[in-house]
Structures are given as C-alpha cells and as structure tokens.
Structure 1
Amino acid sequence: AISPDIEEEWKNKEISYLQKIEELKIAAGITETAKIEEMKRDIAFLNSIIAEQFKKEQDMKKQIAILNGIPANQIFMELQRKTFRDLPPRLYCDMCEVFDLHDTTDCPEQALDIMKNGIHENVHKVRPSPRAYCEECEEFGHDIECCQKRQTEKSEAKDCTF
C-alpha cells in the first residue's frame, strides 16, 4: 500500500475531479437547453411567417376568383380609372425656378419687384393725332374726300395734295 498521505491526496483529487465533471455536465446541459430554447423560438417565428404567407395566399385566391367572375372590359376600365386619375398640376415658379413651393403668380420675388419699382406711376401717354382713313378703298393716309378711286369716278375733285 501506498502511504496514507498519498492515498488521501489521491481521494481528494478524485472527488474534486468528479465535482468538476458534474459542474461541466450541468453547464453543458444548460447550453444545450439554451440552444433548444433558441431553436424553439426560431421555429415559432418561422411558423408565424408561414401563417402570414398562407393568409396572403388565401386572400389572393379569393381575389383571383372574384376577378375571374368579372368581364375583362370592366377590369380594364377599373384599372384605367385607378392609373389615369386626374392629378393636380405641380406648382412651378418661373422666377425662382423651383417646383412645389409656389406658383409664379404667388412668387414673393414678384411682390418685391413691384414694391421696389413703386406702384404704377402716373405717366401720361401722348396720343398721336388721328390718322385719316378712307372707307372707300379701306386704306390709311387719306380720307374719303381725297380718295383717288372716288376722284376718278367723279369729275369734280377736291385738291388733296399732301
């Protein structure tokens, strides 16, 4: 037999090793349990996605059945109505060259230009003297009394020198 000290030390090491083996088994069991739980969560998530896809598929099948019962020209008219709806025109300012902010008529720059130049100044325009118009030959430059066409018809002529 071996000395009692060595035997006791051997038994103590054996006990500590057995305890460590048990701890490792428990730790391994926990990690396996955690892996199993994670896989169960993944399965539940994938099952929910499958259920959503199945519901969408059923809805699509119902829509197909409804569309198969409708005449083709009615479907075409409905699609045209949905795709070619009247869209309001986009706002565009010619002065600022921007879309969707304001229209040219509502441009703040235009209001500033009017304020800078002042509101309509009273400028009197000089009207030209009235021009003579002949209703006989429908031309400007002479009146009906001095019309060459009329003078040839009448022997009596007025002096129409300019």
Structure 2
Amino acid sequence: MLEKEPFWRKKALEELTEKEWEALCDGCGRCCLNKLQDYDTGEISWTNVACRLYDEDACRCRDYENRIAIVPDCLPLSAEAVREISWLPPSCAYRLVAEGRDLYWWHHLVSGSRETVHEAGISTRGRTVSERHVPVNEWEDFLVEWPEETPPR
C-alpha cells in the first residue's frame, strides 16, 4: 500500500486549508518572544521576554482568537508574511515549508506527539519571562541567542 504524501510536502503555504495551516504550527512558542531591532542596522536581537498573552506551559497564546485586538503589535502569520519576515526561527514549520524544506523529526506531524518539540529542547517551555513582569526598557537585559539556532536534523 502506498503512503499518502503529507500535505506540507505537496502544497504551497497559500494552498493550505485553515485546518492544515493551524496544524503546521509546531508549538515551539519562539514567535511569541519579543525581539529588539537595531534602529541603524536593522539587526534583530531575541529576548526571552514573551508576549503577555503567552502561556509558557502550553506554549500557546492564551487568547489566540482575540490576540490582535489585545496586542496590536502581534503579527499574524500569513503565507505572504512568512516569506517577508526575517526573524522567523530557522526551525519554524511555516518557514521550512516556504523554503521547500521538510519538517524536523520532532514536529508533531512527523512524530505523532505534541510533546516531542519540548523533549527535543526546541520549545520555549521553562525558558521565558512574561512581558507583564519586565518593563520594555529592561528587555536588553534578557537577550538570548537560542531562538535563532538551527536544531540538529
């Protein structure tokens, strides 16, 4: 019996259904981390300061449906945005599919478990502080490099 080709290998981001789009999220939470951009160079620096709506244990937004109204600078991902955003982590499933690359072994669509992203050390679980507790002028004290690291295949 021939195995069916997974949707992320045969469809472009623009072709995904809403259900497929949402399923593609690996649940790492890295996109919910605040970033700082150098005014002169445009260089992005990551912090481990998470959005005030971020639930670190679940690695999900506490109010996904209303996030844009609550956090006006939250950037919803779209196929177009994925191709334009320079700060998406190298492990992001949306970025991988946009670049024609396959998902990592720990992605739940490959492994069959939503826990493997945490077991592989990819997620932000246990690594963040909420922006509710850190004033913006102190974010520079929370710079980290791990969100932009490429995990091993």
Task: Give your verdict on TM over 0.5.
Answer: no
Tell me: higher relative CO, structure 1 or 2? Use CA pairs within 8 A at least 6 residues apart: 2
TM-score, length-scaled by structure 2: 0.14
Of Structure 1 and Structure 2, which has the larger fraction of its residues in strand? 2
Q: Greater CA radius of gyration, 1 or 2?
A: 1
TM-score, length-scaled by structure 1: 0.13
